[in-house]
């Protein structure tokens, strides 16, 4: 019984760390999106594409989101030059 409690608490600690890390990452992504000055129309387009990609569930794979963020970075950097 004690071992089960230890396992349970260690899982909770790992989940808490992941949750905090994800929260920090989401805050960073949100700030980057605000800096990019994404329009409402662009966001709607993104949501439509995400919905199509994931069968109208409105979800997008993390890998695709990361790829999109790199594309955004590249585009923004080329516009600044």
Same domain, 28 and 48: no
Same domain, 60 and 31: no
Same domain, 11 and 27: yes
Contacts of 60 (CB under 8 A, 6+ apart): 50, 53, 54
Same domain, 75 and 50: yes
Same domain, 43 and 76: yes
User: What pLDDT, on a 0 to 100 scale, did the predictor assign at position 78?
Assistant: 58
- Number of folded domains that form the chain: 2
In this predicted model, what pLDDT tens digit does every residue of 33-75 receive, in sequence order? 777 777 778 878 877 777 777 665 656 677 777 777 776 665 5
21 close to 29: Cβ distance less than 8 angstroms: no
- What is the extent of the structural domain holding 76? 39-81
Same domain, 27 and 45: no
- State how far the alpha carbon of 68 is from the alpha carbons of 12, 37, 73, 79, in Å: 31, 15, 9, 16
Same domain, 66 and 46: yes
pTM of the model: 0.33
Angle at 45 between CA 36 and CA 38, to 5 degrees: 15
Joined tokens for residue 45: 């387009």
Q: How many Cβ atoms sit within 10 Å of the Cβ of residue 65?
A: 12
Same domain, 20 and 46: no
């Amino acid at each position: 019984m004690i071992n089960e409690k230890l396992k349970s608490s260690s899982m909770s600690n790992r989940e808490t760390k992941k949750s905090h890390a994800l929260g920090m990452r989401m805050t960073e992504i949100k700030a980057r999106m605000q800096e990019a000055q994404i329009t409402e129309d662009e966001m709607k387009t993104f949501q439509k594409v995400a919905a199509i990609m994931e069968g109208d569930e409105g979800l997008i794979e993390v890998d695709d989101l990361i790829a999109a963020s790199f594309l955004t970075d590249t585009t923004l950097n080329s516009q600044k030059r």
